[in-house]
Structure 1
Amino acid sequence: RILQALLGLGAGFYIGILGIASTLMIITILYLFFSLDMLKANGTAKALIFFNNLIAFANYAYQGSIDYTIAALITPPIMVGSWLGARTAVSLGPEKLKIVFVIIAVITAIRILFQMF
């Protein structure tokens, strides 16, 4: 339980600061340390990040660091894309989703490394 609490605290802190690849990180933690299959790890990560994002949103809103015009413009297509993506993840199942996850994680890691240098 202590390890799980520390993982949650660390993940939340990281997401609050940057949020880069936060879903990948949360899914990895849930898969490796909580023994969830890839589909449950993905769904659980979405629930966790939803609440985490509410807290981060409140902080950024309080600081005036949100462009509401752009947010209003982009939110509807993001919601549709999220719905389509979730349906696709469920239809793929845990094993195929694991393959997709690894591919996306590798691509994301490479992008982050190239942006650093």
Structure 2
Amino acid sequence: MPDISLTTLLLLCLAAALAGWIDAVVGGGGLLLIPALLLGLPQVPAAHALGTNKAVAIVGTTGAAVTYVRKAPVSVKTAVRIGLFALAGSMGGAFFAAGISSDVLRPVIMVVLLGVAAFVLFRPAFGTATEARGPVTRARVVTAIVLVGGGLGFYDGLFGPGTGTFLVLALTAVLHLDMVTASATAKIVNVCTNAGALAMFAYQGSVLWQLAVLMAVFNLAGGQLGARMALRKGAEFVRGVLLVVVFSLVAKLAFDQWA
């Protein structure tokens, strides 16, 4: 592990805790944790920051997933199927990533995110118990596996930012879940995709394991708190956090594009 001052270490641990909380509620914790690692460890290659992020995030995501499964009506079987398809999709996306310019993708993603934010704002019932309707049919599950799993998995491998948030929105729309259940399902999918990415980073030796273990403790604590708050406060709380994360993601992408 590189030399890190006590102040930097404490700030990274706090960032890990907050990222765990955000991830557990609505996804998108990487928006905070990756920049924190890059800023806190400027001497470390970017690949090591990404690999360490995955090692930290998978612990908090797994803990949040377990909490959700115990208390929310989640279909683990469906979530794992989507997750495995997302894992395959992410490998395909990573294969094509070298030939795609992120400068081209950022404006498209910003437009999509702003459209999503407008949709959520002007349709207050979206993702609530009153909006969720009907049983989860086989057709919906197949659509979720192929389009949500494969499509967003491909996006995650190709570009990545906001995948967890997109997962919550897509699962809410396709499976007609309330946002709490969609967030719970997304956590299981995230565990699958994080495991695949972490395996690749570990194979390449791009994980700072000592730092990751310490930060993972804080990430797990933040994830547990976030999952419990989401379960207690319900869909409206998740919806509010979702909008904050979406606008934050748009701001970050805009800064990366034009700064």
Which TM-score applies when normalising by structure 1? Answer: 0.88
Contact 2:148–2:170 under 8 Å retained in 1 = yes
SS in 1 for 2:224: helix
Bigger relative CO (Cα 8 Å, ≥ 6 apart): 2
Output the CA distance in 1 between the equivalents of 2:187 and 2:213: 21
CA-to-aligned-CA distance 1:50-71 (integer Å, 9 cap, x gap) = 1111111111111112111221
Alignment RMSD, CA only? 1.7
Give 4+ residue runs of structure 1 displaced > 3 Å after superposition.
1-4, 16-19
| From 121, 134, 155, the counterpart of 1:14 | 155
Q: Distance in 1 between matches of 2:255 and 2:207?
A: 27
Pair 1:82 & 2:223 matched: yes
SS in 2 for 1:99: helix
Deviation, 1:13, is 2.1
Percent identity over paired residues: 31
Q: Hey, what does 1:28 align to over in structure 2?
A: 169
| 2:205 is aligned with 1:64 | yes
- Stretches of structure 2 that go unaligned for 5 or more consecutive residues are 1-138
Normalised to the residue count of structure 2, the TM-score between the two structures is: 0.42
Structure 1 counterpart SS, 2:207: coil
Q: What whole-Å deviation, never above 9, does each CA across 1:28-62 have from its counterpart, x for those lacking one?
A: 11112221111011100001101111111111111
Q: Which residue of 1 aligns with 2:240?
A: 99
Q: How many angstroms does 1:14 deviate by?
A: 2.3
**What's the CA shift string for 1:76-102, capped at 9, x where partnerless?**
000000000111111110123212212
Matched residues, number: 117
Between structures 1 and 2, the one with greater helix share:
1
**Unpaired stretches in structure 1, ≥5 consecutive residues:** none
CA distance, structure 2, for counterparts of residue 79 and residue 16 of structure 1? 24
- The answer to whether residue 172 in structure 2 is matched with residue 41 in structure 1 is no
